[in-house]
Structure 1
Amino acid sequence: MEKKNVVYMFADQLAACALKLYGGNWIDTPNIDRLAQMGTTLDNSVSTFPVSSPYRSMLMTGRYPQTTGHIVNHLCSRHDEIGIADAFSHAGYKTGYVGKWHLHRGSFPDSMACDWVPAGRSRLGWDYWRAYNQHMIYFDGPVHAGDWLSDQVEPHEVNRPQWRGYETDGLWEFSKEFLSENKDDPFILMLSPHQPHKTPGVFAPEKYYENLPERFELPPSVPEEQVEETQEMLRHYLAMILTIDEMLGNLLDFLEENGLMKNTYFVFTSDHGTQLGMHGLPPWEKQYPYEESLKTPFIISGPGIAAGVRSDMLMAPVDIMPTLCSLCSVSIPKTVEGMDLSQKVLGEDAADEREAALTMNYSNAYGSLKEGRQWRGIRTKTHSYIRHFGGCCELYDLQVDPLQMNNLADDPAFEPVFQGLEKTLGEQLAERGDTFCACKELRSWFDSERRVVANAFGPLPHPETEPDWSLL
């Protein structure tokens, strides 16, 4: 049987609600809509930990942050983690990663430096590598192809290539290179542009601003004091979404022109959303337990996937690796903690599905453990429940109140729902070894080199220990 390919494209900080596909009203995204007509759109794809590195660790390993130790950004992944590239490579696939990685310390805390990731286990098994850790240089930015410092003896342009022009154009060229070289073999490509994330530099080429309106209609969950900041943010944010849509179109065109689409599972999604001024929060902020941060677009097309339909199935990041493995008949590593939802994705109504997703945030900072914004929660298809550190709770009926403007935590009519979700939260926290303690108590989880040396279950072996390949 012919092996199936995978292309997984995930934008950075793209909230589902910013797209017309999910009820937005700001811009047209013809290629995102085109993919939706080719595949199935998930209405309950939840980031669960709306911060870059925690999401990426879940995506790459199928394991929770309480296990991987990725509870803030800029930590180095443990070498003994078995990743999705390891699983596919073991099954005979060519593997390629293009774009932002963010599972290493890189040049932290400098976001405008030329940072990269050393070859070997820091890349978790990816072979073709045109990536950077986290920098925000959107024009003529650097990626890394070879080893950490071997550019001292090799030609600079071989080991540290730059994309020419804007990031989405440059990363598309690297993606095309990988696909052209490997189109006759089974492959998995992950593509991670940094857009539409904020940058201290220039956001996007001027042409993407030309057809944007001067003012945008805002939902009632944006209070008056956030309106002007949100209006300014949206011009940059939406311009960058247009660059993403164009990049997606280039990918779809290439796959169709080369006869690859019919045998390829294609996913378009995002690592998390952004607040967009809603709930009175700064528009570029995430880390919050609200749908603008948590809910992500998720479209999947490919063999056996129904076209032009929507699914209310609940998808968490830890489920993505086992689901893709199963769709491609690749063995799921024994280390994986997420659910295989492949049968549900294929439209089997009676298939097992996720009833609830554990949501969380650990810190009031992105790269360090700082008190504040500590919460845990449960997201179901119909409700979102949040318990903040210190005891304050929130409960929302997402079907009646999608903007989460009416907190039902103290409503006697919803006491059974409240108690049921609190029970589920307690059970899931116990399963993950999460005591929901003050974050300062977790600073021993990583060392001075930002390597993970402990997790919720205790101290771990040396962070550069090789994997136990018998678990693959």
Structure 2
Amino acid sequence: MNLAYFFFLTFLLIEGSNYTHSEKRDSPNLIIVLADQWRAQEMGYEGQKQIITPNLDRFASQSLIFENAVATLPVCAPWRASFLTGQYPLTHGIFYNDKPLPNEALTLAEILKAEGYQTGYIGKWHLNGHQRGEEPFSGRDKPVPADRRQGWDYWKVREVTHNYNNSFYFDEKDEKHTWPGYDVFPQTDSAISFISKNKKNPFVLMLSYGPPHDPYFSAPEEFQKLYDASKLQLRPNVPEEFQDSARRVLAGYYAHATAIDYAFGKLIRSLDSLGISDQTLILFTSEHGDMLMSKGVLKKQRPWDESIKVPMLIRYPEKFANRSRRIKNPIGTPDLLPTLLGLSGVKIPESVEGKDFSPDLLSEKEISSDAVLIMLPVPFHEWRFGNGGREYRGIRTDRYTYAKDLKGPWLLYDNETDPYQMNNLAGKPEYQELQHQMEKILQKKLAERKDEFLPADEYMARWNYLYDRNDSLRASNYLEINRLP
């Protein structure tokens, strides 16, 4: 697919539909489109001119744009558990990948199913995990039992895969099927089929894509051809010695992102054709970002913006009239469920810990949020102890990032004057008052959560978890070693 042909197809998707208004209904349809590891900075609507995301850019022009949507714990399974329950990781217990979300957890699908919604889930799940003593990752290729699906009925799911071109799933009867080709495209077709069959009644659908999570070089060739790695510009915080490899990774990452954008356009066009766009609330977001060689590292878990900030768009024409509006104050993962329920007119259960910002959004105010909590109770896998991983707690405001590890203050950034977080202000005498203010906000957040900020082993023992691989191996003087630069 050359660039001209791509834009021709995109034109057909985003301009060739007739926007059909439909009868007003009290209960909106709800669609969550989740990309895995798509960081906030890589969006055309955010000023990134070298990525091709025309469908999402047009969608953003009709949506609420959350400039500081923050992954409270920037890892796959913890984000999913917090999103579906509205709880913080140390409440629901998923602070480490591949651990099972308890059956007792009250989730989005169960809440809306009780309100008469049809429920559907397609794609990556990552909440069934494996039991204590089983081989690490042994659950990733197994079906999720019906009693572990947390209220989702229509079911085309695999626990985890990142082989997007040879991808299988299990259906409602635990029968195994193969997605033909690059799985983003048939998953989108399955979503459109579910929507078409349920258009007359309220439904909730979660479409959970695997990309642009690595492997970075497995998008369809026609999308890879859209990007010349040698011409890509990098963020200034990518060290010089990593820049060649960073450009190659970024080109592959962009190819995945553009493929998702293409599929997203098809999904939006289907809503227009079915005449249900007005009464459908759509959330597009991601679980966490990807460092993509900023500060010389890849992937997530870390407290820097490339890891914790995610794109987030909400379109709901019946309430927001297809007008774009930017929300500057931060919103955290546990806040998403209560806010979606509030926008849908559904009572928020007492088990939910996040804040409902729907009154602010509906009254066209800035959301009433001064800061959101960021955390990593247990470092693991690619950022395990032996690879420099550390426990931390912190906050992200609309301007500042502050984080501390078990030894004390670690990071302090003024993201307005230092958007690439290259000047750590922590411990500098001239910023002592600012650091004190941030510490005070953090302590208030921790007190609200009854978070004692203990070493990782304490939480693993409390939840009867075993470490996977060699994640628990660390120096005997772990608490005394020097901080990372």
Q: Scaled by the length of structure 2, what TM-score is found? A: 0.85
RMSD of Structure 2 on Structure 1 (CA): 2.2
Contact kept in structure 1, 2:100 and 2:128, CA below 8 Å: yes
What secondary structure sits across from 2:170 in the alignment?
coil
Query: What is the identity percentage for the equivalent residue pairs of Structure 1 and Structure 2?
Result: 34
435, 438, 457: which one aligns with 1:421: 438
Structure 2, unaligned stretches of length 5 or more? Answer: 1-24, 468-485
Quote the Cα distance in structure 1 between the aligned partners of 2:95 and 2:41: 25
Are 1:409 and 2:426 counterparts?
Answer: yes
Structure 1 residues 368 and 28: CA distance shift in structure 2, 3 A = closer
Contact 2:71 2:309 in 1 (8 A): yes
Amino acid at match of 1:243: A
Give the letter for the 1:317 counterpart: T
Counterpart pick for 1:116 among 143, 148, 173? 143
Aligned 8 A contact 1:6 1:265 in 2 = yes
Tell me if 1:135 matches 2:151.
no
Query: Shift of residue 430 of structure 1?
Result: 2.5
Gaps of 5+ in 1: 149-158, 451-472
* Post-superposition CA distance 1:142-187 (Å, at most 9, x none): 1111355xxxxxxxxxx22221111111211221121111111101
Match of 1:310 among 289, 307, 326: 326
Deviation at 1:228, TM superposition (A): 2.1
Instruction: Name the residue aligned to 1:460.
Output: none
* Contact 1:394-1:408 at 8 Å conserved across structures: yes
In structure 2, the residue matched to 1:86 is 110
> Counterparts in 2 of 1:214-229, with a 5 A limit?
214-215=229-230, 216-229=232-245
Deviation at 1:110, TM superposition (A): 4.7
Structure 1 letter corresponding to 2:272: E
Amino acid at match of 2:125: W
Check conservation: 1:273, 1:296, Cα contact below 8 A: yes
Contact 1:111 1:135 in 2 (8 A): no
- Cα distance change of structure 1 residues 286 and 321 upon mapping to structure 2, 3 Å threshold: same
Deviation for aligned residue 1:132: 1.2
Alignment of 1:348-387 (within 5 A): 348-349=364-365, 353-366=368-381, 370=385, 372-387=389-404
Between stretches 433-442 and 69-78, larger displacement belongs to 433-442
Match of 1:253 in 2: 269
Q: CA deviation at 1:115?
A: 3.2
Corresponding residue number in structure 2 for 1:156: none
Which of the residues 122, 129, 145 maps onto 1:98? 122
Cα separation, partners in 2 of 1:192 and 1:308, compared to 1, 3 Å: same
1-structure distance, mates of 2:456, 2:271: 45
1:298 maps to which residue? 312
Q: How far 1:204 moved relative to its partner?
A: 1.2
- Secondary structure at the aligned position of 2:433 is classed as helix
Q: What is the count of residue pairs matched by the alignment?
A: 435
Q: Summarize the Cα distance change of 1:353–1:370 in structure 2 as closer, same or farther, 3 Å threshold.
A: same
Whether the 8 Å CA contact 2:70–2:331 is kept in 1: the answer is: yes
- Structure-to-structure mapping, 1:173-188, within 5 angstroms: 173-188=189-204
Structure 1 position 290, deviation (Å): 0.5
**1:73·1:368 contact (CA, 8 Å) conserved in 2?**
no
Q: 2-side partners of 1:209 and 1:367: how far apart? A: 26
Contact 2:327 2:367 (8 Å CA) reproduced: no
Distance in structure 2 (CA, Å) of the matches to 1:338 and 1:60: 11
How far does the alpha carbon of each residue in 1:435-465 deviate from its partner, in whole angstroms, 9 at most, with x for none? 2221122222444799xxxxxxxxxxxxxxx
Counterpart amino acid of residue 355 in structure 1:
D
Q: Which is worse superposed, 189-198 or 202-211?
A: 202-211
Shift of 1:220: 1.5
Quick one: which of 59, 74, 78 aligns to 1:54? 78
- Aligned partners of 2:348, 2:57: CA distance in 1, in Å? 31
Give the conservation status (yes or no) of the 8 Å contact 2:77–2:94: yes
Offset, 1:214: 3.2
Letter in 2 for 1:123: R
Higher relative contact order (CA 8 A, sep 6+): 1
Name the TM-score, length of structure 1 as normaliser. Answer: 0.87
Partner of 1:334: helix, strand, or coil?
A: coil
Deviation at 1:253, TM superposition (A): 0.4
- The answer as to whether partners of 1:16 and 1:273 remain within 8 angstroms in 2 is yes
Q: Secondary structure at the match of 1:378?
A: strand
Q: Given that residues 14 and 196 in structure 1 are in contact (C-alpha distance below 8 angstroms), is that contact kept between their aligned partners in structure 2? A: yes
Distance 1:444 1:140 in 2: 37
TM-aligned CA distance change 1:356 to 1:251, over 3 Å: same
Partners of 1:347 and 1:28 lie apart in 2 by: 33
Distance 2:416 2:138 in 1: 39
The code of the aligned residue for 2:49 comes to N
Q: Is the 8 A contact 2:157 2:171 kept in 1?
A: yes
Say if 1:72 and 1:366, in contact at 8 Å, map to a contact too. Answer: no
C-alpha separation in 2, matches of 1:86 and 1:240? 32
Distance 2:278 2:159 in 1: 32
**SS at structure 2 position matched to 1:386:** strand
Q: Are the equivalent residues in 1 in contact too, given 2:229–2:250 (CA < 8 A)?
A: no
* Aligned match of 1:171: 187
Q: Is the 8 A contact 2:34 2:207 kept in 1?
A: yes
Distance 2:141 2:64 in 1: 38
Alpha carbons 1:146, 1:160 under 8 Å: kept? no
Q: CA deviation at 1:116?
A: 3.0
Cα deviation, residue 352, structure 1:
5.7
Seen in structure 2, the aligned counterparts of structure 1 residues 115 and 139 have a Cα distance that, compared at 3 Å, is: farther
Give 3-state SS (helix, strand or coil) of 1:114's partner: coil
- Matched with 1:34 is 58
- In structure 2, the partner of 1:456 is none
SS of residue paired to 1:105: coil
Q: Given the alignment of the two structures, is residue 437 of structure 1 paired with residue 454 of structure 2, yes or no?
A: yes
Q: CA deviation at 1:81?
A: 0.6
Which secondary structure state, in structure 2, belongs to the residue aligned with residue 143 of structure 1? Answer: strand
Change (3 A) 1:4 1:108: farther
SS of alignment partner, residue 58 of structure 2: helix
Alpha-carbon displacement from aligned partner over 1:59-92 (angstroms, at most 9, x marks no partner): 0000000101111100111011100111111111
Q: Which moved more, 1:272-281 or 1:290-299?
A: 272-281
Residues 44 and 54, structure 2, Cα contact 8 Å, conserved in 1: no
